[in-house]
Every structure is written in C-alpha cells, then in structure tokens.
Amino acid sequence: MIQPADFSKALTDHGVTMYAGVPDSLLESFCAYISATLPADQHIITANEGNALALAAGYHLGTGRTAAVYLQNSGLGNIVNPLTSLTDGEVYRIPALLIIGWRGEPDVKDEPQHVKQGRITTGMLDNLNIPWQVLQADSDINTVLMQSFADLERTSAPVALLVRKNTFADYKLAKPAAKPDSLSREDALATILECSDSSDVIVSTTGKTSRELYELREARNESQRDFLTVGAMGHTSSIALGVALSTPSRRVICLDGDGSFLMHMGGAAIIAASGAENLIHVVLNNQAHESVGGQPTVAGRIDFAGLSKALGYRGYFVADNTASLQRIWSQVQGQSGPVLLEVKIRTGSRADLGRPASTPVANKQAFMEHCGG
C-alpha cells in the first residue's frame, strides 16, 4: 500500500503545495496526513467540490502553480460546472490535479448509492476531456505522476487520478478529548426519537446519522419510516423542505449534519424564506466530516444563532446534552417554523455500527406510506 507521506512528498517534488477538497473515505488516510502536516494556508477543506476547484483556479491565477483538488467521485456532480465553464481548455485553461476516490468501482462491492456513479466515472471524465490515471496500492507513484504532469503540461487544464479502494496505508488524525458530559450523535438521535411523536416525519442526512437512526428504530422494534438520505450530501434539508411543503399537516424533522449544512448552505436561506411552519431543521454539529475520517469543518466558527436570525428562521435553539435537549424540545415543537435547532455533539460512533438492510427503494416506499403518499 502507498504511504500517505510518500505520496505527499512525490506531489511536493512535482511542485504541488496547495490542497483543497472535500474528504472521502477512500482518501481518508491521505487527507488525514495533509491535515496533520500542512500549514493551514496550504490545505483548505471546502464546503463542496466546486468550491475547491474554484479556489484552486484562484491559486493558479495568483501564482501560476498547480493545486491539488481531492474529492469522492460522487462530488463530480458538484464540480462539473467549474470544470466545463472555468478551468476547461476551451475557456480559461487552468490546470488542477484532481485526486478522486473511486467509490462504486465496477466489480468492487459498495453501497447502492455509489454503484452507478462508480460505473460512469471514467465515462464522465472522458466526456469532459479530462485525462485520467488509476492509482492503486501497487502503483509506482513516480510513474503515475509523471504521466499526470505530462498531461497537465500538454493541456493546461485539469487531469485526474482515480484512487482505488485500499490504496493508502492507514494514517489517523489525533482526536481531541471529549468532555465527560458531551453528547454523542446516537444519544442525541435517541432523545429526539423519544421526544417526537409517532406521526412526525423524519428526513436524515447521509453517513452515520442515517445508519444510527436505522439501528435505533430496530432497537426500539419500530417500523422503518424515516427517509434515509444515503447519498446527495448537502441536499437533505431541501428534501425535507419539499416534504414539509407537500404535507403541511405533519411535522417534519430534518436531521442534518454540519458538513452537509455547509455544503449547500444556500438551501438554508430558501428554507427560511419558505415559511414552512411545520419544519424543524436540526443541525447535529460535531465540527467534523466524521463519516469519512473526522477531518474538521468550520462549523465551530459559525454563530448559528446569528446566522439563523439573518437568514430568517422563526426560531433558534441550542442543546449540548441530553437534559438540555429534552428540556427545549417542547419549545421547539411549540415554535412556528421553520426552526433551526443546533445540537452540539462530540465525534465518535460505535465500532459495530451497521448499515441499513433495506434497499433505497424499499426505504422510499415505507417513507411514503408513513407520509400518506
């Protein structure tokens, strides 16, 4: 397997000293290494993938140098616009090295939401006229990078490295010590389930939030009725808004994460402006992209109280332990929405956390039956 330190050094030898991107599980060890070793002004964890490429373009405009942009292949959807209308060889011709985790690679077992994206990834890159190389555990780093940088020199536009599963050797970020009374995400979800009504409609964000919610329903011997957003990171709150507007007689609870909230934060402005009185927007804030390695987000710097007021939410509440969450839930339910509830949680999850056993289509059908649709 490739040591993250060796890959980082090889990129430095080719003149790459600036990184921007959205963390991915296949790139977890490499992302952790550059988070731990690079100065803050050389590594920016961005809100979304298009944000990262635009930042890399600006870096090139200011320095003439090439930046690296890392992402999961699911993020190709977010990055296509600046790829085709900004950095493309027929527009501004701005080089960037795309380091892409290849989830759902054909003939490699993966979760349902990754299968189609994995199958079409190489075709997408070909259609975008982006040269690509595969990086895997037994690759000769220098050989692969020599070809990639030859393509960068030839095209003056983005090129891609597709990183296969189990390419990088393990490297973990040191995690800050949690406060003794800090709230876990699973405990927060359990408390919300206990406090909510059986008629409430829940839409949960991608990653460990939906996995934990699924297992909590199983442990409570309750039917699966929640919409588990297994993909489409950043769009959970917009899904919840659509449900809230279409079912005004039901209370809709959106279980969002801070990374998801940040990815398409413009959606929050639309939610606030919608006047959806039945929508509770919960942001589970651990200041981390935990489902893909625990790399930090900027959510710890955000004044969610001030932000919610500026956006136009009709109420803001905050909780940081079970008692405070239980205490304010009745106030949250009594406030006309849209309401923003920030729940401050610690990072971490159970080592034996499983994945939903139902298919996405079965989940959708159960959810629609619960909604009455």
Which residues lie across from 164 on neighbouring strands? none
Between the alpha carbon of residue 309 and those of residues 222, 233, 273, 321, the distances in Å are 36, 24, 12, 23
Of 32-46, 132-146, 176-190, which gets the smallest average pLDDT?
Answer: 176-190
Mean of per-residue pLDDT scores for the chain = 94
**CA end-to-end span of the chain:** 49
Beta bridge partners of 101: 72, 163
Tens digit of pLDDT for each residue in 246-290?
999 999 999 999 999 999 999 999 999 999 999 999 999 999 888
CA-nearest of 51, 26, 17 to 108 is: 26
- pLDDT exceeds 70 at position 343: yes
pLDDT, mean of residues 118-124: 96
Please give the angle made by the CA atoms of 12, 14 and 15, to the nearest 5 degrees: 65
Q: Is the pLDDT of residue 178 over 70?
A: no
pLDDT at 113: 87
Is residue 2 very low, low, confident or very high in pLDDT (cuts 50, 70, 90)?
A: very high
Q: What is the rounded CA–CA span in Å between residue 255 and residue 234? A: 12
Give the pLDDT of residue 373: 60
pLDDT at residue 294, as a whole number:
78
Band of pLDDT at residue 103, cut at 50, 70 and 90: very high
pLDDT > 70? residue 177? no
pLDDT reported for residue 174 = 76
Which two tokens mark 187?
Answer: 């405990």
CA dihedral 69, 73, 22, 81 (to 10 degrees): 70
Kindly tell me if the per-residue pLDDT of 172 is higher than 80: yes
Q: DSSP readout, 3-33?
A: -HHHHHHHHHHTT---EEE---GGGHHHHHH
- d(CA 305, CA 290) in angstroms, rounded, equals 23
**272 neighbors 299 (Cβ within 8 angstroms):** no
* 3-class secondary-structure state, position 182: coil
User: What b/e readout covers 192-217, taking b as 16+ CB neighbours within 10 angstroms?
Assistant: bbeebeeebbbbbbbbbbbbbbbbbb
Q: How far apart are CA 176 and CA 173, in angstroms?
A: 9
- Entry pTM: 0.91
| Ranges of H-type helices in the chain | 4-13, 28-37, 49-63, 76-85, 112-127, 141-155, 185-195, 208-219, 236-246, 258-263, 266-274, 304-311, 322-334, 360-371
Compute the radius of gyration of the chain from its Cα atoms: 21
- Pair 370, 352: CB distance under 8 Å: no
